[in-house]
Chains A and B, each alone.
Chain A
Amino acid sequence: MDFALSEEQQDVQKLAAQILAQEVTVDRLKTIEAGEERFDATLWQQLADAGLLGVALDEAYGGMGFDFETLCLLIEEVGKTVAPVPVVPVLASAALTLQQFGSAAQRERWLPGVASGKLLLSAALTEPGRDNPAQPATRLQSAGDAWLLYGRKHMVVSADRADAVLLTADLDGALVLLAISPTARGVKLIPQHVTTGEPQFSLVFDGASVTHEDIIACAATARCAVQSLVQHTLVGNSVMTLGVTETMLKMTAAYTSERQQFGRPIATFQAVSHRAADAYIDVANLRLVCQQAASRLSARVDATEAVLIAKIWASDVAHRVSQSSQHLHGGIGVDRDYPLFRYCLWAKQLELTLGGGNSYLTALGDTIAEDFKHLVKTGVVASSDAAQQ
């Protein structure tokens, strides 16, 4: 058991922290947010030039060749600064899935461009009313050698800039994972306005053409690929939540230590310091479940429960720490001239991405129930307490 980061990981962490802290100033955020869309193209290219966009891509594609756990260090720093760069959808959801499940041609086609910053990928995971990408209403229809795509995905990050979007569709009851260009004929892009201002789009497919080379995986392989995609996305977002809540906590401790009321810093009131202490415990706990989930995914061992638990904690901690931070700040916490509000908006968006914590609590409960029913059925539980009654 080892909780330490390797030297290489520490270097990646330092590099990411240095670039993001230097570039993502409040003024820079304000400038970007006053523009057309919340995407910092200059920063994205800087991250690419530093090698960070390829941190978890193989060296063959111009990457650094590290694992998902190391990518999470970059994601955490992005969360800490709420930088306008879509690291989770592009790197954790799309690129890693292509690297693991794409054909040689697909990897060659997309991954070097992701690492160099010349190409952008995204993932379309949800549909109106359906947060589970493994059960899409979007469908493929056979048309000779190819297929036609019908349906609708929504809340697709940076779909306007994406060269390809990964998505799931149903083909006569079989799950298919494919990549499609959002500018292809038969695809309509509709901008959406989401709470953080992140550029998100509805994608409407009305007979868009899909060929063999667009298909990443089918049937059982697709289920496996989609499960992996979802798990990496959930953990990526949980790690981003960790970064977001860390900064909120730091701001809250600093502000309440300065802010004077009744002749003393409000941090000296236990009602204030104890609520901050609870937020501290929440963030520390979230760190542990994120580390465990990321470490298991990187080691390619079963991570089902670890991922569910990370998402459950991330959702709860996002909500609690955000509310506590705003409350302890008082009025200034809701003022858009003070930087806290961005973190609160991100906390809520991340909490809801791919569904809230309670849906995952239900999923965890189902997993537990199946496990114990299996143990009882196979007699692994030798001396049953019930039998001793």
Chain B
Amino acid sequence: MNIALTPEQLALRDEIRAYMATLMTPALLAELSGEQREGGGPLHRKALRQMGADGWVVRSWPKEYGGQNAGPIEQYIFSDEVIRAGFPYPFLTTDGVGPVLAEVASDEIRKAVVDPILRGDCIVAIGYSEPAAGTDLASLTTRAERKGDKWLINGQKIWTSYGHVADYVWLAARTDPHAAKKHHGISMFLVPTTAPGFSFTPINTLGVRTNATYYENIELDDKWQVGPLNQGWRMITGQLNRERLSLVNHGPCELLYERVATWAAQTDAGSGSGKIIDLPWVRTNLARVKSGLEVLRLVCFKQAWSMSHSSLGMDQASAAKIYGSEFFVEAWRLLLEIVGQAGALCSGSEGAVLHGVLEHRYRSGSVLTFGGGTNEVQRDIVAAAGLLMPRYR
């Protein structure tokens, strides 16, 4: 057992960190600090294309696509550094939907969608959740009906992040309303956001902007139906497992912990009490964050390691999601306490500490305990798959 990164892995980390530092120009940072915080602005799209051109997108892909088949640990290091740098990288497009399309889509779709994805020139939004189908996703009602040789799509999706800037929506729709079980009879579609009948309205959440998206008599050629008909559920759940993994990366929290600790070591506590970091309770708060963060780091690497040995269990993925999402909430609280009352000052305000990043982080952080599969369902999975406890039917 050797629970440390190899010299090669450390070198990769440093290489990506240095690369991201050059990518994150002041102009891009400015674009990402305003209305286009979530990405999709012109400079963000340009930087993404640059990453594609420099081979970063394709890196984790198999060799037949020109990739290097980077292992899960290397891919985790990549995603962690990209998120740490603050770049809104469309992981669900590049590492979620993209590989699925490459596997099951027709040559025509691959050429039209997969190639641009690998060039960093295509963003795909995820259209799963509906107003009445959240945790109980299989009860979705958006429908796709045959109309001659075309499909007619009608329905509404919610929480469609990137929906306002995406090129496509990866849409789950009901194709067989009479299927015996509700998670049968669902199929997957790629909906071009340029299709007549597609529209969106913004949802401004506590933390980020997302969208409601509407599908009104959208006519699609059959080629946009991807994968086996009526068997979309398996593609959705595989995709969700993937999503869960990238929700709880440790890097951004580590960076913030380091920034707060540095700030506390630089800032006077006043009235001759030394620096803020000299206050006993501040040290305890930092120690709590550090000991929780270390576990998160190990949990993430253990998952990546397990994936490279094809042994990642459902219980393990769910446990990581629960632990990480709940740890973040606690970590933001402990770090905000250190900053004190000024922790409530927003980004851009006079006197904001660390550019108000903590004020934004705690607001957006509350999404994670229910987003990506609510933690109650994750705990059901842990009890059933990890402890073999019976479930109530």
Contact = CB atoms under 8 A, between A and B. Distances in A.
Interface of A: 1-6, 9, 69, 249, 253, 256-257, 264-265, 267-270, 273-274, 276-278, 280-281, 284-285, 288-289, 291-292, 294-296, 299, 301, 305-306, 308-309, 312-313, 361-362, 364-366, 368-369, 372-373, 375-376, 381, 384-386, 388-389
Contact of A372 (B5, B265, B353): B265
B388 interface: yes
B266 interface: yes
B2 A384 contact: no
B261 A276 contact: no
Interface stretch (B174-182, B240-248, B272-280): B272-280
Interface residues of B, number: 61
Nearest 5 CB-CB pairs, A to B? A365-B283, A273-B383, A365-B287, A268-B392, A253-B387
B305 interface: yes
Contacts of B259: 385
B2 A299 contact: yes
A376 B380 contact: no
B291 interface: yes
Q: Give the secondary structure class of B's interface.
A: helix
Given A276-B387, A361-B288, A372-B261, A1 B295 contact: no
Contact of A2 (B2, B278, B295, B388): B2
29 contacts: A1-B2, A1-B6, A3-B3, A265-B390, A270-B379, A273-B389, A274-B379, A274-B383, A276-B387, A277-B380, A280-B315, A284-B299, A285-B298, A285-B299, A288-B295, A289-B298, A296-B3, A306-B294, A309-B290, A309-B294, A361-B284, A362-B283, A364-B291, A365-B280, A368-B287, A368-B290, A369-B278, A372-B261, A385-B355
Given A284-B299, A361-B287, 11 more contacts: A1-B6, A1-B73, A268-B391, A273-B387, A273-B389, A288-B299, A291-B3, A295-B3, A309-B294, A365-B282, A368-B286
A309 B290 CA distance: 8
Interface in B350-390: 351-355, 376, 379-380, 382-384, 386-390
A274 to B, nearest CB: 4
B123 interface: no
A285 B283 contact: no
B290 A384 contact: no
Contact of B301 (A1, A4, A269, A376): A1
A38 B294 CA distance: 37
Name the residue in A276, A288, A301, A369 with the highest tally of chain B Cβ atoms < 10 Å from its Cβ.
A369
A118 B387 CA distance: 41
Contact of B354 (A309, A373, A381, A385): A385
B261 A1 contact: no
Contacts of A289: 294-295, 298
Q: Give the secondary structure class of A's interface.
A: helix
Name the residue in A268, A281, A292 with the highest tally of chain B Cβ atoms < 10 Å from its Cβ.
A281
A271 B389 CA distance: 13
Contacts of A389: 351-353
B179 to A, nearest CB: 27
Given A268-B390, A364-B287, A365-B284, A273 B380 contact: yes
Contact of B388 (A257, A362, A365, A369): A257
Contacts of B25: none
A365 B383 contact: no
Interface in B10-69: none
Nearest to A380: B262
A274 B392 contact: no
Given A276-B383, A373-B275, A385 B3 contact: no
A388 B386 CA distance: 48
A361 B319 contact: no
B369 to A, nearest CB: 13
Interface in B296-330: 298-299, 301-302, 305-306, 309, 315-316, 319, 322-323
Contacts of A9: 1
Contacts of B73: 1
Nearest to A285: B295
Interface of B: 1-6, 9, 73, 259, 261-267, 275, 277-278, 280, 282-288, 290-291, 294-295, 298-299, 301-302, 305-306, 309, 315-316, 319, 322-323, 351-355, 376, 379-380, 382-384, 386-392
B383 A277 contact: yes
Contacts of A5: 1
Given A2-B2, A4-B1, A5-B1, A281 B322 contact: yes
Given A257-B388, A270-B380, A386-B263, A313 B284 contact: no
Contacts of A274: 376, 379-380, 383
A356 to B, nearest CB: 14
A104 to B, nearest CB: 31
A221 B288 CA distance: 32
Nearest to B304: A1
Contacts of B391: 268, 273
Given A309-B290, A365-B283, A369-B283, A280 B298 contact: no
A381 B262 contact: yes
Nearest to A267: B389
Contacts of B294: 289, 292, 305-306, 309
B277 A372 contact: yes
B372 to A, nearest CB: 16
Contacts of A301: 4
B3 A292 contact: yes
Given A264-B392, A386-B266, A295 B2 contact: yes
